[in-house]
Chain A
Amino acid sequence: MIFARRGMLDKVMVSTVMLIALCSILFAYSATLDRGDEGGDLSSLVMRQGIWIFVGFVFLFLIANSNYLKVLNFAYLLYALNLAALLFLLFFGGERYGARRWIAVGPVSLQPSEFVKITVILALAAFVGERREKMRSLKTYLGAILIVMPAAALIFLQPDLGTALVLAPILFSILFICGAKIRYMLLTAAGVVASMPVFWGLLKDYQKSRLMVFINPNIDPLGAGYTIIQSKIAIGSGGLFGKGWLNGTQSYLKFLPERHTDFIFSVIGEEWGFLGAIFLISLFAILIARGIRVIDAADNIYGRAIATGVITLIAFQMFVNISMTIGIMPVVGLPLPMISYGGSNTIATLIGIGFLLSIGRQARR
């Protein structure tokens, strides 16, 4: 199978993704614009985000037009390389913001933990595909967990709790959709709850304080609680219509830390208000709905597994990210897919969507 052109690309999904990418550019601009300087140069961050999106779309179309099953042949290899990169980071990575997440490749720094979100999906898809006859067996179930474990452990040690956690819903939604025994999953969930106190001990101090602050932001209004409070003020003060693009006072006066990365949604909520926030969430809803159609229509378990993983990845990150900006979840450092500034996240997400398009195209009759 070389280029199996069985159908057209899903135009609705492509245009939705383009609209989301447009929002990304608009708000990267608003969040990083320094209105203190008269006519200063356009923020270079916006240019870079534009480049990332462009590169991401190149990958998206390449993959969408290729046969994903062929890529799957390299799934374990890609995953292994990615794990190697994570391992390398752990020992040689330069520290930034107290964590080793970036690896320098020429002029750009890549974040292997963002790409591992995709490679782990591919590896899992390859694994469940091979064992599609024995999906209900305990061996398959445990095997899938074993595949994810090294990535989760390496990311957790960076330390990056949020990204490590995102691997869990990916794993379990793939197992669920592909037909693993529900009893095993319930037992696992019970086991996790029972071992919570042990995990608490493994958490770094800043992670603990983030969780504590989530419960009560006012225990440390200037430290960990500060971001949540300022973010809620930003979004809340946006109201129904918002303060207008580029008019958000919270972000312009820099009350909001990390406003172009993890807290970009606060800027959107402040400047575009409730209607803008609903608009953006609707775009994601359309993307996810089209993705579920792909799962449904996929003609093989490989495609179903990949589509499930990608949809879960996007939906989970979006849900957790927005939730933390409005203070209904702890701050765990997950980006808003494609919107938060960051090359690795943007490219990885667009690659994932490329697979969705490819699967959908090949499933069309």
Chain B
Amino acid sequence: MRIRVFTLILAFCMIVLVGSLCRTQLFMYERFRTMSEGNRLKVVPLMAPRGTIFDSSGRALVKDVLSFNVSVIYSRIKDVESLAEDVSRLLDTPREELLEKIKKGRGQAYRPVTIASDVGVENAIHVEEASMDHPGLLLEVSAKREYIYGTTAANMLGYLGLLNRSEFNRLKHYGYRINDLVGRSGIEKQYDDYLRGSHGGKQVEVDYRGQEATILGLKEPVPGKDVQLTIDIDLQKFCDGLLTDKRGAIVVMDPYTGAILAMASSPTYDPAIFIDSRRNEEVKQILYDNEYPLLNRAISGAYPPGSVFKVVVASAALEEGVVTPETVFSCSGSLKLGRRTFHCWKKDGHGEQSLKEAIKNSCNVFFWRLGMLLGVDNIAKYAEKFGIGSRTGIDVPGEVSGNLPSSEWKKKRFKEKWYKGETLNYAVGQGYLITSPLQVARMMSVFANGGALVTPYLVSEVGGVPVADEERVGLDISPETIEIVREGLKKVVNDRRGTGMKAKLKDVVVAGKTGTAQTSKSKNHGWFAGFAPFEDTRITVVIFDEYGGKGGYYAAGTGGKVIQKAYDLGLLGERE
């Protein structure tokens, strides 16, 4: 009897064992198998360094540099306290802070957890030495974007940002990873595909210490391609300097090729703050700044061009034959249209003058008359030819098209007919017409290069391969017309009492046009668009002075400084 009870007890134990094994090995098999694989396999990402961005003479502007992070593998640490103590002393970081970060590593005890990032080479060497005494302490090397010239050209170069969840879902098939940095604006965004390269990875079998036992698969990372720009960093720096504490933009472009030599926008920002988690506050400030420092005013700002637009109206009038170079109109200081009187900027009037003189004086009455003779749609036709109101096709994102009004446009937009008074505004670059500084540079380049519209570009080479696709569209404007306007533009700067005389230089013959764009606020925008040297022109310069007051007077002075600097840098010499 007792033996039977004894037997039953043992049998019961056996059944319990078999039942438990059933549960563990059959019902929970999938779960444990996954855990076993997870234990064993580890994918170590091998990050591809991002390409370097160079200026036209090969000076690095933005590049990836090594950044040293201090990490711990929790499971390997022998003495947490003394490790924290030593690292705290080396890095001059509070011990408690380190301890807290180390403790966080408990959750994933077999993986490195960063406890201090970007510690600098000096500290990195000390930590490396200390890691001999402290198992579990290690130095990890990663790439960090360095902006060698700080805020210079920031708006054009662009900044980086972490890929967000929805972008990741959209882009994961293209080799992006969840914590990847991607170009958010400028060159970094436009050429992201080339700059970022492709990540590699190592699939390893790890043992219980998290150490690699066998490498199962290896994909080498492919570094990103380098990008070479057309800009000259010295000129760029100079332009950025001119805009310090102002709002506005400067564009310097080769009028024959469209290559951008400098493109500045102000206010600007420090791109380094976007990749440093410790500087999130600064990023917030930038994002909520009322002056929009992230806006590249040279391509993304749209403003009325004011009097610089008169070159288009002058060309239209000559081409359409409504005037000849000899035609003379008299300016009495005002013009009557119906019951309204329009005033020239000079109260006493400019007297009798030809087209060239009118350009020199920027006489509004003269151009109003041209406007009336041409009519709105003729002005629109030529403005369109000169590329006003459409994107230039430059190779950075965020360009605006501006607005090119016409009678048809107005009918569509406002369901109203076009009024004659509006034609007068149009003829002097006011009203519905808005454009970007880059469009103005392109427009002015037509007179610098003798009649062709170019496509501006910033990148000349990607990965050592020339990519510039120089495009020049002949505008079918007679050389005579171009020449007459050119003469006028030369007078603007070089004649006594020319409106752009502030741009006059000893060493170089400068030609150009000033402009004052009326705004709804009390201060006006100032413009200067010019080119130099007058013969064999090398650069077109556009200065946009946002709410600069005094109109083009100061803008012309700034333009002169830029051209002088370009001359000093040897950028105005003979073409090779």
Where the two chains meet, the residues of A that have a C-beta atom closer than 8 Å to any C-beta of B are: 36, 173, 176-177, 179, 221-222, 230, 232-240, 249-250, 253-255, 269, 273-274, 277-278, 281, 285, 288, 292, 295-296, 308, 311, 315, 319, 322-323, 326-328
Contact = CB atoms under 8 A, between A and B. Distances in A.
A233 B31 CA distance: 9
Nearest to B40: A249
11 contacts: A177-B2, A234-B36, A237-B33, A237-B36, A253-B39, A253-B206, A253-B207, A269-B25, A285-B14, A292-B7, A315-B13
How large, as a class, is the contact surface on chain B?
35 or more
Contacts of B109: 221-222
Contacts of B106: 222
Contacts of A269: 21, 24-25
Contact of B205 (A233, A235, A240, A253): A253
B25 A250 contact: no
A239 B26 contact: yes
B3 A177 contact: yes
Max chain A Cβ within 10 angstroms of own Cβ: one of B24, B29, B35, B75? B24
Contacts of B36: 233-234, 236-237, 249-250
A221 B106 CA distance: 9
B26 A278 contact: no
Contacts of B18: 278, 281
A314 B3 CA distance: 17
A181 to B, nearest CB: 12
B419 interface: no
Interface string B23-60: 01110110111011001100000000000000000000
A277 B40 contact: no
Given A221-B109, A222-B106, A295-B6, 4 more contacts: A238-B25, A285-B14, A315-B10, A327-B24
A173 B6 contact: yes
Given A237-B35, A269-B25, A274-B22, A281 B3 contact: no
Nearest to B14: A285
Given A236-B29, A253-B213, A278-B21, A296 B10 contact: no
B39 A239 contact: no
Contact of B25 (A177, A253, A274, A327): A274
Interface in B182-216: 205-209, 213
A273 B29 CA distance: 10
Max chain B Cβ within 10 angstroms of own Cβ: one of A36, A176, A233, A254? A233
Given A235-B24, A236-B33, A295-B3, A323 B205 contact: no
Secondary structure of the A side of the interface? helix
B389 to A, nearest CB: 66
A235 B6 contact: no
A322 B40 contact: no
Contact of A233 (B5, B17, B39): B39
Contacts of B20: 323, 326, 328
A179 B6 CA distance: 12
A239 B21 contact: no
Nearest to B12: A319
B29 A253 contact: no
Given A285-B14, A326-B24, A176 B75 contact: no
Contacts, number: 112
B548 to A, nearest CB: 66
A253 B3 contact: no
B105 to A, nearest CB: 11
A66 B95 CA distance: 71
B24 A253 contact: no
B17 A253 contact: no
A281 B209 CA distance: 33
A292 B3 contact: yes
B25 A281 contact: no
A281 B32 contact: no
B413 to A, nearest CB: 67
A315 B29 CA distance: 27
A233 B32 contact: yes
Contacts of B208: 253-255
Contacts of A315: 10, 13
A236 B207 contact: no
A285 B16 CA distance: 13
B25 A239 contact: yes
Q: 6 smallest A-B Cβ distances: which pairs? A: A236-B32, A237-B36, A274-B25, A253-B207, A237-B33, A237-B32
Contacts of A308: 6
Given A253-B213, A254-B207, A319-B13, A236 B6 contact: no
Nearest to A270: B36
Contacts of B31: 236
Contact of A237 (B10, B21, B29): B29
B40 A274 contact: no
Contacts of A179: 2
A217 B74 CA distance: 19
A216 to B, nearest CB: 16
Given A326-B21, A328-B20, A232 B32 contact: yes
Contacts of A230: 39
B6 A277 contact: no
B341 to A, nearest CB: 88
Contacts of A311: 10
Nearest to B205: A253
Nearest to B107: A221
A281 B17 contact: yes
Given A235-B25, A237-B33, A253-B207, A322 B17 contact: yes
Contacts of A277: 21, 25
Contacts of A326: 20-21, 24
Contacts of A240: 25-26, 29
Given A233-B32, A253-B207, A315-B10, A274 B26 contact: yes
Contacts of A250: 36, 39
A312 to B, nearest CB: 8
Contacts of A322: 17, 21
A32 B106 CA distance: 29
Max chain A Cβ within 10 angstroms of own Cβ: one of B2, B5, B26, B75? B2
A36 B32 CA distance: 25
A236 B26 CA distance: 8
Nearest to A257: B208
Given A238-B25, A240-B25, A292 B32 contact: no
A240 B39 CA distance: 20
Contact of B213 (A36, A233, A323): A36
A49 B64 CA distance: 58
